[in-house]
């Protein structure tokens, strides 16, 4: 029995992705580490001055230069009220006139495909609205993996579309 929640068998999977008492801290920490890594790679890609080392990198909420505007965990304003309007990462690619919304998820192997699909659908309304406002293509990229690094067959395609190493 799990000593944290006293509701389930104590397994690594339960502790990493399902235990209600552990989720708040551990899940958020893992999620934010992935966001931080992607953020650093994006800063280098779009020629922002940044730390070269992940350990010393701190995520700034909004960054803007001639190549891109990058927002992290920021409410995106639209003409229509939209409930899901705070993606993990928002990128306005200024030279290509397109927007990418990145949504990170860390989950269990049983829920991997479901979470990836949920992350993909979650920002449909926001993507449609941003497309109308900015008159550009908007892409949603779910960056989902299990707590031990397992990904779906689509993950490689999503990473390629981000054009980061």
Sheet containing 62-64: which strands, arranged edge to edge?
Answer: 62-64, 68-72, 89-93, 98-107, 137-146
**Quick check: is 1 in a domain?**
no
For the entire predicted model, the pTM comes to 0.88
Per-residue pLDDT averaged across 53-69, rounded?
93
Amino acid 38: pLDDT: 96
Count of structural domains within the chain: 1
Amino acid 81: pLDDT: 92
**Quick check: is 59 in a domain?**
yes
> What is the end-to-end Cα distance of the chain in Å, rounded?
41
What pLDDT digit, counting tens, does each position of 150-162 carry?
A: 999 999 999 999 9
Whether the per-residue pLDDT at 4 is higher than 90: the answer is no
Give the residue numbers spanning the domain of 100.
12-162
Whether the per-residue pLDDT at 26 is higher than 90: the answer is no
Q: What percent of the chain has pLDDT over 90?
A: 71
CA–CA gap between residue 108 and residue 14 (Å, rounded): 8
**Quick check: is 128 in a domain?**
yes
Amino acid 54: pLDDT: 86
Torsion angle (degrees, nearest 10) of CA 64, 163, 101, 149 = -120
Amino acid 55: pLDDT: 83
Whether the per-residue pLDDT at 20 is higher than 90: the answer is no
CATH code of 116's domain: 3.40.91
Length of the chain: 165
């Amino acid at each position: 029995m799990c000593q944290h929640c006293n509701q389930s068998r104590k397994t690594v999977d339960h502790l990493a992705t399902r235990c209600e008492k552990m989720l708040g801290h551990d899940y958020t920490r893992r999620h934010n580490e992935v966001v931080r890594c992607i953020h650093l790679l994006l800063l280098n890609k779009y020629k922002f001055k940044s730390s070269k080392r992940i350990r010393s990198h701190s995520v700034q909420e909004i960054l803007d230069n001639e190549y891109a505007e990058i927002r992290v965990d920021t409410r995106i304003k639209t003409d229509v009220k939209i409930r899901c309007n705070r993606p993990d990462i928002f990128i306005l690619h200024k030279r290509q006139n397109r927007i990418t919304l990145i949504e990170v998820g860390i989950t269990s192997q049983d829920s991997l495909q479901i979470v990836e699909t949920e992350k993909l659908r979650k920002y449909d309304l926001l993507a449609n609205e941003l497309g109308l406002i900015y008159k550009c293509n908007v892409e949603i990229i779910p960056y989902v993996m299990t707590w031990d690094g397992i990904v779906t067959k689509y993950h490689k395609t999503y990473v390629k579309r981000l054009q980061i190493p």
